[in-house]
Amino acid sequence: MDGVQQWAEGVSYAPCPPDEFCGRYGERERLRALFPRAAEHGQAVMISGPPGIGKSSLLAWLAYDLQDRPDGPRSPVIRAEVFEPPRMIFFEFRKLLYDLQMRAATGEFQEVLERGGIREAAGYTDSLLERYGAPVEPVGLLPKTGDEIVGVFSRAPDVGYDRVRDTFGDLLRELGRLMGASGRIIAVLLDDAHRAPYPDSRLLRDTVQDLPPGVLFAFTVRDDPGYDDRDIPHLRLQGMRGHDIQELGQRRFDLAISDAPAARLEETAGDPFSLVACFNALRRRNLAPSAENIEALLKEEEDPAGLAVATLPRYWQTWARD
């Protein structure tokens, strides 16, 4: 959908670029309030919400705020996303380690990370993760998700889970120590963690329950009663408020949304995906963002995805629906 939308010259449905991020000021301040706690004790935070609510966009903003904002903390960030179906055991953790190795080899944080031998430590940890996952049969793994993956080992791993967990924890402790000595923290960001299979989900839970000083671990999940960790801060995202919707319309679409249509959108289509679909439709059809036009668009399709497809040229609509 996102690639098609680019061809149609609309605003992308991909996570919002951090410099265009709108609203969520309360959530942003809650995240920033965790930085000192991460430096002193280690800190995890879970960001949840339904699809399209802006979890990935908020995570991207957090990465920018920590690492790239000119007047920000200038702290390193390593990131990964969990894919579905799972590609291999510990795939996303190995992606985090690869990202860490790249930061230790080049860039702004190379000196401090190289001084602590982080690249070698990350490589060793990665080799343990690879050895633990090696006995899994790829063909048997593909149709399974979550805890169903338990039991598909063709032979017992030659590296025990406790060793994997302890080694990953030791790496985080050394990272936290190095960051503390330089007056920074390191942030580990994991997107769509609800997709993580077992034992990845087990390692995630064990890790966020025992973070060392100097480490912030933020991860996103969909709203799911089965994934409600009450021992760590939880940011549950809801629809955008009227003034945030007005900011989104102005900054990303150059649309001046008055109070009445903004209030209507807050009631009916407050998630960012629906708002982008609505504003793309207004721009493509050269419609003013009036309450009447917005109401007509909202009645046109039953769901935001349908409205998003309806804004495309006819030949792209056929491709997208297929």
Q: Render pLDDT for 281-322 as a digit per residue (tens, 0 to 9).
A: 899 889 999 999 999 988 887 677 677 766 665 545 554 454
Amino acid at the residue 264: R
Nearest Cα neighbor of 212 from 230, 193, 186, 191 is 186
Please give the full DSSP string across 259-293, using - where no structure is assigned.
HHHHHHHHHH--SHHHHHHHHHHHHHTT----HHH
- Tokens 């100097």 label which residue? 214
- Is the domain covering 24-236 a CATH 3.40.50 domain? yes
Q: How many CB atoms lie within 10 A of CB 314?
A: 6
What residue ranges do the domains of the chain occupy? 24-236, 242-321
Q: What is the pLDDT of residue 198?
A: 85
- Whether the CB-CB separation of 48 and 219 falls below 8 Å is answered with no
Q: Which residues pair with 136 in a beta bridge?
A: 153
Tokens of 23: 């609203």
Task: Provide the pairing of β-strand 186-191 with 77-81.
Answer: parallel
Angle, nearest 10°, between helix axes 291-300 and 259-268? 20
Amino acid at the residue 57: S
Would you place residue 14 in the very low, low, confident or very high pLDDT band (cuts 50, 70, 90)? confident
* pLDDT higher than 60, residue 259: yes
Calpha distance 299→281 (Å, rounded): 13
CB contact set of 87 (below 8 Å; sequence gap of 6+): none
Q: How many CB atoms lie within 10 A of CB 20?
A: 12
Q: What is the pLDDT of residue 145?
A: 46
Calpha distance 127→67 (Å, rounded): 28
Give the tens place of pLDDT for each residue, 43-92. 999 999 999 999 999 999 999 999 999 999 999 999 999 987 666 789 99
Whether the full predicted model's pTM is greater than 0.85, yes or no, is: yes
Q: How many CB atoms lie within 10 A of CB 182?
A: 18
Name which residue leads in pLDDT, 295 or 5.
295
